[in-house]
Structure 1
Amino acid sequence: MKVVILAGGYGTRLSEHTSVVPKPLVEIGGRPILWHIMKLYSHHGLNEFVICCGYKGSVIKDYFLNYLPHQGDLTVDLQRNDVEIHRNASEPWKVTLVDTGEKTMTGGRLKRVKDYIGNSTFCLTYGDGVSDVNVQELIKFHHEQGALATVTAVQQPGRFGAINLSSERPRAARFREKDARDGQVINGGFFVVEPEALDVIEGDSTSWENEPLAQLIDRDQLAVYRHHGYWQNMDTLRDKAVLQELWDTGNPPWCVWDKKSTAPTFNAARMSDPAFAGQTAK
């Protein structure tokens, strides 16, 4: 099963960092938040990713093009301009990076990667939120519900897209974007989606969170998976500080994978330096 990650936004509330790197490459514990998200899915056996790039998408591409040399031992032959990798400690990931446009909305980005997704069920999430959600249980729940899409609902007050739940079944009754009332469950990302659900997306100007989800709700095709564990997005500098403080404790709640793999490697901000462009191992 493929995992689609929306990684094209501007991240204006993190402008101190996103003026240099795109939001998904802003680091927690020396690793981009995008890496943390991918590690969660990989922990649950999902290793094929389609990343929807937009703002500073070339920097995300450079990050993955330069990923392998930073994971193990290597020999650099300066005369022959050759790099030999001796120990490959990288994850078993296959990553497709797609330029979905700088100004394209989230639904439009999904529409643009439809050919890369294929005709199978896929996972979908945002490139700025971490959780300890059990992805395998989420997928199982989705298949049991038989809906075209399943959204993970989490408890978080204010400023996010709130979900009204049906009192009888795990279906969404309404989806309200940026509701200010406390105590509502919200869209925590971590969707599971059938490819047919993309048919309700009109084009680049379509926001996945608005018309498409509203149409799915009207058709009784949006199931809701309640997650009672940890969830946190990284929308502001305060959010980043919270995540970094948790990482510094040595036991971040979203890190469900092997702790030995959490050591930092290199600063993603350096990928914006032209000196690093195109320097990939042969």
Structure 2
Amino acid sequence: MNQEQNELTVTLPVKTTWRDAVHAVQATLGDVDKRLVLLPPGTGNRRALREMALRAAQESSQPSSENVLGRPIRTSVDLGTVQPRPPRSEAARERLRQMAKKAANEEFRQPYVSLKAELYEAYLPTVRAEVVLKAVDCEDTDPSHVLEDVKMIFDTGAHCTIITEELLPRSFREYLKDPVHDPYRSSSGLSLQMEASIALTNSPIAIDAIATVVPKVQMPNQLVGILFGQSSCIDRLTLRMIPRPILLAKGEDISEEFWGDIIVEEYVNVDNEIVPL
């Protein structure tokens, strides 16, 4: 049992009884006795399992699109009502600068996800955001780029936030090629400042972090988009992720177009201060 005591065997006639079979096993075991775990029987709802399998097969057979990004979370947050950020302190600017240098010196690690594109994109949650991208050492007069009402994949398997280079306009990409940005460049990509206002289920949040810009060929499934990842982003949030099946089981009415809820309770800003919500 479980690859143990393989030398023990029991021989039974073709026709026997439960008691005779149990007695034969007891006689063979002798003094051998170990713990085992009995699992409860399944629900027996084979129809539901078949429907789930058929739905997965249908979705995997549909043509994929590199710009189809998962399922949105449920939210009524209006990003247009988010208050402007106060100017960053010099300490915060230096903290971002050091984060960018560290990111540039670390080996780029692919996100853990390696599923087929259509399955990967259909089942990860997405969040709406307004993202402002700037060079790390930029001045107020230097170019920046705003991604308005952009969808980001909320990817706990991504080590950091990753942005596809092809998502950015050509003029901004040309600006980023300037050698002045080389201290924050690695063989994999370029580290940029990211100011993101993100609509979670119960509240907007303001994240100032470092994102890595990489070519499409380095993204999972050559995705053109944003993976909102761990370092200085998800790992600064206290949150609850409640997928749609849980909400349905609790009696809530939620459309199948939504992944579910991501409820944030507090987060740490770039000054390492806790912002309660």
TM-score class, shorter: under 0.3
The structure having more radius of gyration, on CA atoms, is 2
What TM-score comes out, normalization by structure 1 length?
A: 0.21
